[in-house]
Amino acid sequence: MTRNGIKYFIKMFSFLGNLPDVAVRKIYSACDTKTKWMLNKTYNDTETINPLKRSGCLDHKELLFCFLCQNDIYYNNFCTGPWKNWHGASRILTDDVLKEFEVNLNNVYQTRNLDALYQHLVTEHGPHDFLPKLYWDKMDNQINTEYEFGTNADEMEMHVRQTMIDWGVYYDPFTRYKMALERKKVHKSLAKILVRGVFQQLSLCHAIGNRWEPLLLSYEGSEPTLVPEYKAIRSFNLFLYNIKQQHMVQNQMVNQPGGYYSQFESIGKKLY
C-alpha cells in the first residue's frame, strides 16, 4: 500500500479511535480477513494509537488444527488402498463418507498455542519429512524399481544398451534412477516450503485476532445450521489452497503439470 493509500485508509477508519471498545470489537469482528490485515498494517505503520489493540480485538487466539494430521487422514483414506479403484481414480464420495471424514478432520491435534503447534509439526511429522509416510514409501518403491532397471535389465533393454554402444552413443542405465532420486529430493524441499507457508498464515491469523469463518448448511430448504466441524474444515481447506498455489508456481516454472497430489482428484471443492 502506498503512503497516500495508508493515509486515506487511516482517515476512513479514524472513527474507530473514538468509539467505545465494545463497538470497535463488534465492527472488527464483522470485517473479512483482508480488511483486518489492512487495518492492522495501517495502524502498525503509523504513530496513531491502535484502537484494535486497545479494545482487545487482537487478543483472540483462534483454535489451530494440525493440517498435517488432517493431510495424513486424507491421503491414507482417499489416495491409497480400498478408496482407489483399479483405474486409479477416487470412488464416489457419499454424504456419510464425507461426514465421517469431516469428523476425523476435527479429531486431530489442536491447540491455541503457535509454539505448541510448531513443536508438534517438528516432532510428529518432521521424521517423515512432513508428508504422509505412505507417500514417501510409494516414491521409494519407484526409486527401487529404477535401480533394478539399471542393474538387472531385461533382454530388450540389454539389446538397446548394446545398440547404443555399437553406435558410440553414451548411455547411462541409471539415468532414470538418478532422476527418481532427484525428484524425491525436490519434493522434500517443496514439502518444507509448503508447511512453512501454511504455518506463517496461521501465525498471521493469531497476530490479527482472526477467526475461522462459520460454515452453514441447509438441507432440503430447512433453516441453515452451523456445521460443528467448520473450523477443522476451514483449516484443511487452507492447506489445500496452499498446495494449489504451490502447484501453480511449479507449473509456471517448468511449464508442465506436477507436484504433490497432482495425480489425485481433490475433494477440497466439496468442503466449502
- State the CB neighbour count (10 A cutoff) for residue 7: 13
| Rg (alpha carbons) of the chain, rounded to whole number | 25
Total-model pTM: 0.78
Q: What is the pLDDT of residues 66-108, one digit of tens each?
A: 999 999 999 888 877 655 543 444 556 677 888 899 999 999 9
Confidence of residue 136 (pLDDT cuts 50, 70, 90): very high
Phi-psi label, residue 104: left if phi above 0, alpha if psi -120 to 50, beta otherwise: alpha
Q: What is the pLDDT of residues 203-248, one digit of tens each?
A: 999 999 999 999 998 877 788 999 999 999 999 999 999 988 887 7
Residue 187 vs residue 120, higher pLDDT: 120
Mean pLDDT of the chain: 80
| pLDDT mean over 157-167 | 70
Residue 269 pLDDT: 36
Residue 59 pLDDT: 93
